[in-house]
Each structure stands twice: as structure tokens, then as C-alpha cells.
Amino acid sequence: MAEFTFYTVAMSRGQISRWALHEAGADYEHVVFDWATRPADFININPMNKVPALVHHHGDHDHVVTEAAAINHYLAETHPESGLLPDIHERAAYFRWLFFAAGPLEQAVVGKAMGWEVPPERAGMAGFGSLDLALSAMEDWLSKNDFAAGKRFTMADTYVGSQFVWGLRFGSIPETPAFKAYVERITQRPAYAEANAIDAKLIAEAGQ
């Protein structure tokens, strides 16, 4: 048995964590299904009944991790030799932008796609403020730094970067010079190409 079992759907946020699996060099096997035929017992792994989900077979017991940002950081923690964890000087930016992307940025992008309008006077209550405000914060950082934690690629970039890869591809995030350059940097990584090739094949086979 592989050390990790990875549950995913071809066209889903699972692509974010597959990239992390390959960056970490994790020993994993995947369980791929579609929304209509997901295993009945999958809800025991994730009560939200959504992907991705990761099961770490650790000795005589299992650890379950859900939520792509958590999965990706967990993989960095369990594979310190990969060099993807932040050092003491990178840690603040690493966690700042990892959780910003998983919270305000994703909420703002989804809210815009859903047509949810937050009255300006209630922007503070919404947490993400507005899509323009969230993107402005990220653009300011990426105009001055090559990666989420600063000067080098860390595991935070598998999550933050995925937001921008998808956003620029589907038009939910504007293609500014800073965002375009960031996507070009991160998608040149061999682990990204390996993971993307697997998911592209699954998507083609599923006819999505």
C-alpha cells in the first residue's frame, strides 16, 4: 500500500493537491471518481462529501486531511526534505498568502462568479471586502516578490499559484503583468507538468 491515498475528481480542486503531491515527492495512489458515482462510503472520509481528500496511512492508523490548502501544507510538513517549508524569515508571508488565497481571494472570486453583490458599506462584514480589493493586495505583493513567501518557491505557491492558473485560464482573474509573470514562473516547474499531465488525461477520458 502507498503511504497516501488521494481522493479526487478529474475536473476539480483536486488538481491543486495533486500538484503538491508531486512537489513533495509523495508515495501515493489515487482514487478517482465523478460526482454522480462517488463511493457511498466517501462521506466517512469527508462529511462535506467533496474533494480533494487525503488519507495518510501512518503506521497502524490513518490521518485524514481535507481542504486543499491544508492538504498541501501537510504534505510539506510530512516531506521536509522537499525544501518546500518556509524558513523563519519566510514564515509570515507563507502563511499570510496561503490563508489569504484560501479565504478572501477564493471567496471574492466565487462571489463574483455567482453574482453576489456586497453593499460597499458592508464590505468589512464580508471578510474578503471585494474582488478588486483582494486582487489589489495580491498584485501589490507579486509586483515586488517572485513567490508567495518571497524570493523562492514554497508549498504555498501550489495553492496560491493554482488560484491564478485557474483564474487567468477562465477569466475570473484579470491578466495583469504581475499575475501573468507569476503564472509563467510556477508552471515551468517539472512537478506541475507531471501532475497536470495526469489530470489532463483524466479530464479527457471523462469527456469534461
| Cell numbers placing 22 | 508531486
State which residues form the domain around 98: 91-190
The per-residue pLDDT for 117 is 85
Segment 96-102 shows an average pLDDT of: 98
Same structural domain, 79 and 97? no
Segment 17-21 shows an average pLDDT of: 98
Segment 147-156 shows an average pLDDT of: 98
Edge-to-edge order in the sheet of strand 4-8 = 28-32, 4-8, 53-58, 61-66
Torsion of CA 192, 7, 48, 206, to 10 degrees: 80
Q: Is the pLDDT of residue 208 over 80?
A: no
- The Cα–Cα gap between 148 and 58 comes to 30
Q: Is the pLDDT of residue 161 over 90?
A: yes
CA distances from 54 to 34, 146, 152, 155 (A): 17, 29, 26, 16
Same structural domain, 27 and 71? yes
pTM of the model: 0.95
The per-residue pLDDT for 84 is 98
Segment 108-129 shows an average pLDDT of: 87
79-90 per-position pLDDT tens digit: 999 999 999 999
CATH of the domain at 63: 3.40.30.10
The per-residue pLDDT for 170 is 95
Same structural domain, 166 and 77? no
The per-residue pLDDT for 137 is 97
Domain count, the chain: 2
Same structural domain, 63 and 115? no
The per-residue pLDDT for 110 is 95
Same structural domain, 45 and 112? no
The per-residue pLDDT for 97 is 98
The pLDDT > 70 percentage for the chain reads: 100
The per-residue pLDDT for 57 is 98
The per-residue pLDDT for 123 is 79
> Residue 187 contacts by C-beta under 8 Å, 6 or more apart in sequence?
161, 165, 193, 196
Same structural domain, 57 and 130? no
Same structural domain, 59 and 141? no
